[in-house]
Amino acid sequence: MRLHEYQSKEIFTEHHIPIPLGRLAATPEEAKLIAEELHGPVVLKAQVLVGGRGRAGGIRLVHSPDQAEEEAAKILGQRIRGVPVRRLLVEEAVNIQQEIYFGMTVDRARGETLVIASAEGGVNIEQVAQVSPEKIARVGVDPLLGLREFQARVLAAEIEIPRTLWRAFVAIALNLYAAYQDLDATLAEINPLVLSAEGRLVALDGKIIIDDNALFRHPTFFDKRDLSAEAPEEIEARKFGLSYVKMDGDIGCLVNGAGLAMATMDIIQSKGGAPANFLDIGGGANAEKVTAALRILLADPQVRAVLINIFGGITRCDEVAHGIRAALEEIETDLPFVIRLVGTNEAEGQRILADAKLETAATLSEAAHMAIRRAQAQEAPV
Ligand code: GDP
Ligand code: MN
């Protein structure tokens, strides 16, 4: 679960990491009021859970409360990468002398947390990492020892932070690591960590991602989950205990199990097709669950054909077949379906599908091939 910037900054404050003064606004009038309180120029920042806000016009520097109201009205009516902006963070503007990158994430290959810093932070950090990787300093953290002070000093030296600010930098580094650990985060990032003209280090932007598997340990965030900023299909899927992933192709896939979903995607791709999405219905496949899954899957206008790939283990094929048939009786659709159903009680399942005049395939390879052909046929002019 990705936290909003303002939530990340609340955590920074709890962990004594300095941030600019500011508050959230939901209306232009509120933005004006906050700008009046702050005196002087302020920055309006759209609170949406998508990257690259700055470049998409979600961040504006304004010089008066009236201008804050006017610009806030524009940003609040806007969508950034499809996500409507409902709230703004209104903050005092900072005079930036240097933008530093500072962050930490799980390095799966090394099996430890990697702490990363660069003297050239800001919105182009990905480019810096690609073009001049030598400008990125890293240290690995032993999970038993945690981030050590000397490691933070090594980073400070490597990215040439002025000596007078080492103490402040080390404190921020250790405090961010503490927050990262307390929250079971998989990422904690300050970009930019700004060296201000007044000679202070300030966290101008924050991004924290909490491991979904640990969310139950952080009920406050779970309850504050901002559904309005997430994809509606994914929210709907979660309600039924399904996992939904949206992609760019034209074949909708209904699968049981994450591994089988991956294999299905791979086979479709290897045969020259492209999945539009996949829905993992997990274990069990009663009519209610299959119906909900198909509804979500078919709501995607890019879908031209549906591939259902189920392996009946504990879930029996006849149960699944009943579920599919019941779902298709309830949902009206003209789209072609291809079903591959194997495993426990396979013969009985196949019979139910055949009775319902549904097209089945014997192997996954054949099913993928048929689904791709059906999708292509849908696109051809009649
Ligand atoms: P992001 O695009 O979502 O990463 O948003 P950021 O909060 O990181 O802001 C993007 C960029 O806007 C920063 O790298 C700064 O260059 C600029 N910016 C943000 N806040 C301020 C500010 O208070 N003063 C100035 N001068 N620039 C700012
Ligand atoms: Mn940023």
pLDDT, tens digit, for every residue of 57-68? 899 999 999 999
Q: Which atom of ligand 1 is nearest to the CA of 191?
A: 8
Domain ranges of the chain: 21-92, 96-224, 232-375
With a Cβ cut-off of 6 Å, ligand 1 is lined by 43, 45, 52-54, 59, 61, 93-94, 96, 99, 122-123, 191-192, 204-205
At position 51, the amino acid (one-letter code) is G
Alpha-carbon distance values, 265 to 97, 162, 271, 293, 302 (Å)? 47, 50, 10, 17, 16
Domain 232-375 fold = Rossmann fold (3.40.50)
Give yes or no for a contact between 44 and 228, defined as CB atoms under 8 angstroms apart. Answer: no
Confidence of residue 282 (pLDDT cuts 50, 70, 90): confident
Q: Where do we find the tokens 């600010």?
A: 165
Angle between helices 65-76 and 28-38 (to 10 degrees): 150
State CA 345 to chain mean position distance.
Answer: 38
Output the pLDDT for position 290.
83
Local structure of 364: helix, strand or coil: helix
Give yes or no for a contact between 362 and 332, defined as CB atoms under 8 angstroms apart. Answer: no
Q: Which atom of ligand 1 is nearest to the CA of 91?
A: 23
Give yes or no for a contact between 172 and 190, defined as CB atoms under 8 angstroms apart. Answer: yes
Q: Which of 101, 196, 204, 207 to mutate to test the pocket of ligand 1 (most atoms within 8 A of CB)?
A: 204
Give yes or no for a contact between 291 and 322, defined as CB atoms under 8 angstroms apart. Answer: no
Q: Which atom of ligand 1 is nearest to the CA of 52?
A: 2
Residue 88 Cα, ligand 2 centroid: separation in angstroms? Answer: 15
User: How large is the average pLDDT for residues 178-193?
Assistant: 97
Output the pLDDT for position 229.
62
Q: Which of 69, 71, 91, 189 is catalytic?
A: 189
Q: Where do we find the tokens 């660069």?
A: 118
What average pLDDT is seen over the chain? 91
Confidence of residue 17 (pLDDT cuts 50, 70, 90): very high
Residue 119 Cα, ligand 2 centroid: separation in angstroms? Answer: 14
> pLDDT tens digit string along 109-119?
999 999 999 99
Give yes or no for a contact between 95 and 197, defined as CB atoms under 8 angstroms apart. Answer: yes
Q: Which of 30, 91, 101, 233 is catalytic?
A: 101
pTM, to two decimals: 0.72
Using CA positions, which residue lies closest to atom 9 of ligand 1? 54
Residue 121 Cα, ligand 2 centroid: separation in angstroms? Answer: 9
Give yes or no for a contact between 246 and 233, defined as CB atoms under 8 angstroms apart. Answer: yes
Q: Which of 6, 43, 60, 126 to mutate to test the pocket of ligand 1 (most atoms within 8 A of CB)?
A: 43
Ligand nearest the Cα atom of residue 204? 1
Q: Is 189 a catalytic residue?
A: yes
User: How large is the average pLDDT for residues 175-197?
Assistant: 97
Q: Is 101 a catalytic residue?
A: yes
Q: Which of 205, 207, 208 to mutate to test the pocket of ligand 1 (most atoms within 8 A of CB)?
A: 205
Ligand nearest the Cα atom of residue 194? 1
Output the pLDDT for position 226.
67
Output the pLDDT for position 285.
65
CA–CA distance, 300 with 298 (Å, rounded to integer):
5
State CA 3 to chain mean position distance.
Answer: 10
Q: What is the rounded radius of gyration, in angstroms, for the C-alpha atoms of the chain? A: 26
3-state secondary structure 108-125: CCCCEEEEEEECCCCCCH
- Beta-carbon neighbour count of residue 74 at 10 Å? 13
Q: Which CATH superfamily is domain 96-224 in?
A: ATP-grasp fold, B domain (3.30.470.20)
Question: What's domain 21-92's architecture?
Answer: 2-Layer Sandwich (3.30)
More confidently predicted of 233 and 17: 17
Q: Which residues have CB less than 5 Å away from ligand 2 (the ion)?
A: 191, 205
User: How large is the average pLDDT for residues 342-354?
Assistant: 92
Angle between helices 287-298 and 232-239 (to 10 degrees): 180
User: How large is the average pLDDT for residues 253-265?
Assistant: 92
Output the pLDDT for position 56.
84
Residue 182 Cα, ligand 2 centroid: separation in angstroms? Answer: 22
Residue 54 Cα, ligand 1 centroid: separation in angstroms? Answer: 7
Confidence of residue 284 (pLDDT cuts 50, 70, 90): low
Q: What percentage of the chain carries pLDDT values higher than 90?
A: 66
Residue 5 Cα, ligand 2 centroid: separation in angstroms? Answer: 9
Token pair in block for residue 15: 């962990």
Residue 140 Cα, ligand 2 centroid: separation in angstroms? Answer: 23
Confidence of residue 231 (pLDDT cuts 50, 70, 90): low
Using CA positions, which residue lies closest to atom 15 of ligand 1? 122
